A and B are shown apart, each in its own frame.
Chain A
Amino acid sequence: MIALIDYGAGNLRSVENALAQLNARATIAATPEDLARARAIIFPGVGAAGPAMASLRDRGLDQAVIAAIRTGIPFLGICLGMQLLFESSAEDGAACLAVLPGTVERLTTREKLPHVGWNTLEHVRPHPVLQGMEGQAFYFVHTYVVVPRHPTVTAGETTHGVPFVSAVARQGLVGVQFHPERSGTAGLRLLENFLRFANVEAAA
């Protein structure tokens, strides 16, 4: 069972539609119990860090997400859903889940912000979910970026005037700054990679 975390902030619909296109059914997880039953988790995100964290805490989902990730469950964080895994965000000065060491900072660039549009994923580190993604273009919409404390977490980079970390990975956990559910064929392939990875892990 793939759980899609619903914390009232993100638009789950587009991720749900993309999974349906890949013949996968996701269940909406709005409580810690829902998450505890999941075999794989997708943490989508649109919105701002402060309200999103408040909403997660209100529902008791913050501790549930941390506990789930600790079990090594296949986990995909998308955009804000990746950012919230770090310790804190300069957006709203929010304290986050601190699953990954590092912070979320406003991108310092001479280019336009927010960074909106298609950009390429580069320097991809080998991971089953990111297989075949080197050089592919994905759809981005964001102003803040993750700054991992340890470079070993970095799994891919993108350049918007300056290079920034656009993918992270640590064992079963993968995070991407872009929106695979809005990135056409390349995005669907990444989600398919994740589904395959989750199935393999579930069978093991």
Chain B
Amino acid sequence: MLLKRIIPCLDTAGGRVVKGTHFEQLRDQGDPVALARGYSEDGADELTFLDIDATPQGRATLVELVEQTAHEVFIPLTVGGGIREVDEIRTLLRAGADKVSIQTAAVRRPELITEGARAFGSQCMVVAIDAKRASGKDRWMVFTHGGRTPAGLDAVGWAREAEHRGAGEILLTSIDADGTRAGYDLELTRAVVDAVQIPVIASGGAGHPKDLAAVLTQGRADAALAASIFHSGAFPIPQVKAYLASQGIPVRI
């Protein structure tokens, strides 16, 4: 049986891991390669690097970081942050990434999803969607630029289009929940999972193993991505997985 995936996310900037709340207030969290190695040894099923430092200098640092990580970590690695061109995707895959996550550029120019999928396969193309609930409605709108710019797209509709254009997975982040540690947005997750056939990785809001359990069962997500719950040391991966297993959720122990 296909197991539910637990994915630590490392937000990187200038070669370090940082994490903010509500996409702001960045705090330094450590050396990415060391963290990645530790998570892999702890039983992480995959790792995601999201580079929030979209400068050319930052990009070179990111490629180096991916290379170093790929030498030491033997689980799938997804890399995202400011990717705009097929050539950038190629560079990151060659450096050792297994998948790339594209967000703002996919909204601006959805053809990029198709171009990437044609060149490298759909399995490489993760489309990241940051979504925020429209006030008082069961509807979510897409935002770009770290949650600051409304894209004028409905999140569920955009997820469908991304799939249609060749995305292999959706990385879905709730802007409302991100950084709150109050749980994932289960309704948003469920709405997107029900709308597409490709795997959905839920992100934003994990504060307790119960939150991951909820998004993998009620939310029906294929994978749960989290950052601070792991970086803070509050709930190490083995403890989270043991809890999920105790709840009857199939995970790799």
Contact = CB atoms under 8 A, between A and B. Distances in A.
B218 interface: no
A139 B70 contact: no
A46 to B, nearest CB: 7
Most B Cβ at <10 Å: residue of A20, A47, A112: A112
A119 B3 contact: yes
Contacts of A18: 74
B169 A17 contact: no
A187 B74 contact: yes
A139 B3 contact: no
A113 interface: yes
A17 B98 CA distance: 13
Interface in A75-130: 111-120
The 3 A-B pairs of least Cβ separation, nearest first, read: A137-B252, A118-B3, A141-B123
Contact of B76 (A114, A120, A139, A159): A139
B199 A116 contact: yes
A63 interface: no
B10 to A, nearest CB: 17
Given A21-B74, A112-B199, A117 B222 contact: yes
B2 A17 contact: no
Contacts of B71: 17, 20-21
Nearest to A20: B71
Q: Is the interface of B mostly helix, strand, loop or mixed?
A: loop
Count class of interface residues, chain B? 20 to 34
A116 B123 CA distance: 8
Interface in A171-190: 181-184, 187-188
B199 A17 contact: no
Interface of A: 11, 13-14, 17-18, 20-21, 46-48, 111-120, 137, 139, 141, 159-160, 181-184, 187-188
B244 to A, nearest CB: 13
Contacts of A181: 74
A117 B199 contact: yes
Contacts of A182: 74-76, 98
Contact of B45 (A17, A112, A117, A120): A117
A116 B222 CA distance: 10
B6 to A, nearest CB: 10
Contacts of A111: 2
A14 to B, nearest CB: 6
B228 interface: no
Contact of A17 (B3, B74, B121): B74
A141 B120 CA distance: 13
B5 A117 contact: yes
B122 interface: yes
B198 interface: yes
B101 to A, nearest CB: 14
Interface in B1-28: 1-3, 5
B104 interface: no
Contact of A160 (B2, B40, B45, B74): B2
A17 B70 contact: yes
Contacts of B3: 117-120, 137
